[in-house]
Amino acid sequence: MPRHFTKSIRLLASSLLIVSAVLLGVPQVAAAATLAAPLSYGDQNAQVAALQSDLDLLGYPVRIYTGFFGPVTGNRVSAFQRDWGLPVTGKVNAATRDAILEALNQHFHYVTANLGAYPFTVGDTGPGVEQLQRALAAKGYDVGPVNGVLMGKTVSALCRFQADRGLAVTAVVDAATNKALGLTASPDQPPSSSGTHPRIQAGEADIMLLAHLIQAEAGIEPYLGKVAVGAVVINRMLSSQFPNTLSGVIYQKNQFEPVSNGTINRAPSADSIKAARQAVAGSDPTGGALYFFDYRIVTNKYLWARPLAITIGTQRFAF
Residues 165 and 242 occupy one common structural domain: no
The residue from 73, 106, 139 where one domain ends is: 106
Angle CA(77)–CA(94)–CA(90) in degrees, nearest 5? 25
Render 221-244 in DSSP notation, one character per residue: S-HHHHHHHHHHHHHHHTSTTS-S
Instruction: Judge whether residue 10 has pLDDT over 80.
Output: no
Residue 229: inside a domain, yes or no? yes
For 223-243, the pLDDT digits (tens) are: 888 999 999 999 999 999 999
Residue 298: inside a domain, yes or no? no
Residues 62 and 127 occupy one common structural domain: no
Residue 1: inside a domain, yes or no? no
Residues 82 and 163 occupy one common structural domain: no
Residue 316: inside a domain, yes or no? no
Supply the pTM of this predicted model.
0.54
Among the residue ranges 35-44, 108-117, 188-197, 203-212, the one predicted with the least confidence is: 188-197
For 131-145, the pLDDT digits (tens) are: 899 899 999 999 877
Specify the CATH number for the domain of residue 219.
1.10.10.2520
Residues 95 and 159 occupy one common structural domain: no
- What confidence tier does 285 reach under pLDDT thresholds 50, 70, 90? confident
Residues 252 and 181 occupy one common structural domain: no
Residue 297: inside a domain, yes or no? no
Residue 219: inside a domain, yes or no? yes
Mean pLDDT for the chain? 79
Residues 56 and 17 occupy one common structural domain: yes
The residue from 152, 173, 195 where one domain ends is: 195
Number of independent structural domains in the chain: 3
Number of C-beta neighbours around residue 96 at 10 A: 22
Q: Which domain holds residue 89?
A: 7-106
At residue 45, the pLDDT reads: 79
The residue from 172, 195, 218 where one domain ends is: 195
Find out whether 129 and 57 touch, Cβ atoms under 8 Å. no
Instruction: Judge whether residue 70 has pLDDT over 70.
Output: yes
At residue 47, the pLDDT reads: 75
Residues 93 and 148 occupy one common structural domain: no
Residues 181 and 250 occupy one common structural domain: no
Find out whether 271 and 211 touch, Cβ atoms under 8 Å. no
3-state secondary structure (DSSP) of residue 44: strand
Residues 181 and 261 occupy one common structural domain: no
Specify the CATH number for the domain of residue 135.
1.10.101.10
Task: Compute the distance between CA of residue 243 and CA of residue 138 in angstroms, rounded to an integer.
Answer: 33
The sign one gets for the Cα dihedral 57, 106, 125, 199 is positive
Residue 122: inside a domain, yes or no? yes
Residues 154 and 81 occupy one common structural domain: no
Residues 180 and 227 occupy one common structural domain: no
Residues 180 and 214 occupy one common structural domain: no
Residue 293: inside a domain, yes or no? no
